[in-house]
């Protein structure tokens, strides 16, 4: 039902309804960031700012997560495999692979013909 005091009569939400999208929610990382990450060697250390970009959040949020888990030093870079774990926990694998595109996927992932 439209709110009579609303300057937009076709606006169909009540005055106190919440927005359906959380504007401060995580943002999916740009394709270029994913490509850069997957081109890193697996023994690389990933700066918190890059991990934050991959997770669509802030370095402070990543730092707080690391501190809460008490697994890694919360202020330094983290191992690539830990960053990859957080990435795949944060976003669906299909979405990550789709964002990489077929050419990038082919350069990162082994082909099915190479499996034993």
Q: Record the pTM.
A: 0.70
Q: Which domains does the chain have, with CATH numbers?
A: 31-110 (1.10.1660)
pLDDT score of 108:
74
| pLDDT digits 0-9 by tens, 70-82 | 766 767 899 999 9
| pLDDT digits 0-9 by tens, 22-71 | 456 788 999 999 999 999 999 999 999 999 999 999 999 888 888 888 76
**β-pair partners for 45:** 79
Each as own residue / partner, the long-range contacts of residues 20-25 (CB below 8 Å, 24 or more positions apart, any chain) are 25/56
Residue of higher predicted confidence among 30 and 109: 30
Q: Coil, strand, or helix at residue 31?
A: helix
Q: Per-residue pLDDT averaged across 6-30, rounded?
A: 59
């Amino acid at each position: 039902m439209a709110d009579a005091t609303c300057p937009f009569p076709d606006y169909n939400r009540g005055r106190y309804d919440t927005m359906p999208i959380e504007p401060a929610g995580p943002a999916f990382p740009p394709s270029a960031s994913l490509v850069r990450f997957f081109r890193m060697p697996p023994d690389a250390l990933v700066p918190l700012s890059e991990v934050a970009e991959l997770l669509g959040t802030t370095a402070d949020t990543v730092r707080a997560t690391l501190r809460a888990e008490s697994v890694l030093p919360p202020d330094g870079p983290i191992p690539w495999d830990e960053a990859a774990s957080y990435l795949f926990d944060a976003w669906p694998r299909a979405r990550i692979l789709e964002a990489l595109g077929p050419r990038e996927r082919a350069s990162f992932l082994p082909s099915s013909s190479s499996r034993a």
